[in-house]
Chains A and B, each alone.
Chain A
Amino acid sequence: MGEQTTLRSSRLGRMAAFAGTGARVGMNYLKHYGQRCVGAPQDENLLHERNAEAVYKTFSELKGGPLKLAQMLSIDQGLLPDAYASRFAQAQYSAPPLSYPLVARTFRREMGKSPLEIFDSFSETAAHGASIGQVHKAVKDGRAFAVKVQYPGVAESLRSDLRIVKPVALQILGVRESDVEDYFREVEERLLEETDYKLELQRSQELSAASSHLDGVSFPRYFPELSCRRILTMEWIEGLALDRFAKGSANSEERDRIGQALWDFYEFQIHTLRFFHADPHPGNFLVRDGGLVVLDFGCAKKIEPEFYRRHFRFLDERLLDDRDALLSSLEDLSILLPGDTDAYRSRIAGLCAESIEILARPFRKGFFDFSNPTFMRSIYDLGERNRRDENLRGFRGRRGSPDSIYVNRAYFGLYSLLHTIGARVHTRLPDWLRES
């Protein structure tokens, strides 16, 4: 059995590990959540490729909470150099297996019965690892189930990990805690939500019912009577992980179909439901019979109407020709604050215009080829330039809305998934941005 050998579990051990590499990561992490438009001081060598290895190693040794953070970073390909992004993207496959006796104990404690009293068979070793739990395959009455079991103590260690990462990150960044407090709170809340499988069950059922009409998208069935806080039971899906599909031999028609399903799914959630699956990494999708199966609604986010209107104004390319409208939209989102100097205002306006131009490209012609590498390249470059921009360093104030973290994350994730698949998709701006 390939069970874990060394695990630093004490608070002190984690602390030590973080002091080394965590600082770097904390910074990148904050960078994203500290708003795309807002640059911050950054030591160039910290982002050197060979650090990716070290950072990755620390995270995967610590498991649990930090691994989750690493995954959030991996989604943020627009801001992380390729070396980091691809390392972290692998993180979801490398969590440590729980022993079967501990799985059985969790069952007995949470459900009052051992796995074999509930199922006809139950795989002793996990079929898949995940960042905060593992998935077992079980059979009952000839039906196959995927049973997700959470590691003990995850919620607790997550809290202490964040407490450790925070001051280190703040100090290196030279940001005041009060300026980014909202961002930390938002991330902490979402991460903690993910440790509650009851909530995940409820959301999975809601979101899959609401999206059931979509073409080419399906969901596993969930079984509330076989689930609880630490155990989540759903139908077993025999499919191909999305990254394998992307690397495999699928033809362009098949790729386009999966890509379109993915696009439609996100478009419907974000613009119609206003409640979305905020974790678009390749481990959360399977391809079965040419269709897309969506797993894992642990991280889901609601979009309030007020924020929706303010945020998605930026998809409107007409802002590019209307400077006053652009500035007032930036004020609405409090990316610009009343006290900002004119020089600063025009700097930010310029940056935002640039990012609107890039991020709205897929919508422009109603059809977009994501396999085109220049598009992803320009997203990376934009992030890279913002990061290095001297002028953006060191300004203060609470800026932007923490609600944008997960919306941005979803879009970055979506764009880069579509790119890896190499899909061409039909796109459409929401109606309210097309008219008037």
Chain B
Amino acid sequence: METREKILHAFREQVARHSELPASVIALCEPLGMSERDFYNEFGSLEALESAFWEELVAKTIAAVESGAEWEGFDARQRMLAFLYAFLEKSLDVRTVLLFRFRHLSPVASPEWLQGMERRFKGWAFSLIGKGVSNGEIAGRGRLVVLYPSALYLLLRSVIDFHVKDTSPRFERSDAYVEKSVNLAFDLMRTQAIDSAFDLLRFLAPRACGKS
């Protein structure tokens, strides 16, 4: 294993077994026979380490779905669905860590340790939106199209939120939630309903929308 992988692995073990974050870089590295220097060669801080951990979960999910046989034929909606199902599947390997970190986190909170995941996902979602616009699934004229990746990120976070609270057998309710929420999101983006709502809001309360 590379140093980087070893540290990421140790992080996961630590959180999963003890339900707490590593107390310090030393505490994490010593049992691995590594020095602080080794650690800082890879990560700038413990937050950066955790950020990389969650980013990697998203990156691996993307790699897995994009290598699937059906991927090329999928439209944007199906790609989003495939991503979320694959994400739920992958997250089963780190469920304890997921529970520990997300159970009490608001789906709209944006802590330091999620920056990597957010960046990585939004980058991917940006090209997804591009595909949706080019094949007509998403209305491309709206001013808010640039914000759609953020909307999809919010959707991902709401799925995680639902999933960590789900106790149904085999988490079947999470599957149903993904199905329904993705359908709703794409229906809204297709009709520019989000833009229209924003437009109305801006008309009624210009200040709230950043226009004085």
Contacts and interface: CB of A to CB of B under 8 A. Distances in A.
B176 A152 contact: yes
Nearest to A64: B176
Interface size class of A (residues with CB under 8 A): 20 to 34
B101 to A, nearest CB: 24
Given A99-B179, A100-B70, A114-B70, A152 B85 contact: no
Interface in B171-193: 172-173, 175-180, 182-184, 187
Contacts of A99: 77-78, 81, 179, 182-183
Contact of A3 (B68, B70, B177, B183): B183
A105 B89 contact: yes
24 contacts: A1-B77, A5-B183, A5-B184, A7-B180, A98-B179, A99-B77, A99-B179, A99-B182, A100-B74, A100-B78, A101-B82, A102-B81, A102-B175, A102-B178, A102-B179, A104-B70, A105-B89, A114-B69, A114-B70, A117-B69, A153-B172, A153-B175, A153-B176, A156-B173
Interface string B62-84: 00000011100110011001100
Nearest to A151: B176
A9 interface: yes
Nearest to B187: A5
A226 interface: no
Interface in A154-182: 156
Interface in A1-45: 1, 3-5, 7, 9
Contacts of A116: 69-70
A101 B78 contact: yes
A48 to B, nearest CB: 33
A109 interface: yes
Interface in B151-204: 168-170, 172-173, 175-180, 182-184, 187
Contacts of B187: 5
A102 B173 CA distance: 12
- State which size class the interface on B falls in: 20 to 34
Closest 10 CB pairs of A and B: A101-B81, A152-B172, A153-B172, A152-B175, A101-B82, A105-B85, A153-B176, A116-B69, A99-B81, A153-B173
B78 to A, nearest CB: 5
A116 B73 CA distance: 13
Given A5-B183, A100-B78, A114 B170 contact: no
A386 to B, nearest CB: 40
Interface in A114-156: 114, 116-117, 124, 151-153, 156
A435 B89 CA distance: 65
Nearest to B173: A153
Contacts of B70: 100, 104, 114, 116
A109 B69 contact: no
Most chain B C-beta atoms within 10 Å of own C-beta, residue among A3, A99, A100, A116: A99
User: Most chain-A CB neighbours within 10 Å: which of B77, B168, B172, B184?
Assistant: B172
Nearest to A150: B172
A114 B182 CA distance: 21
Nearest to A108: B89
Contacts of A152: 172-173, 175-176, 179
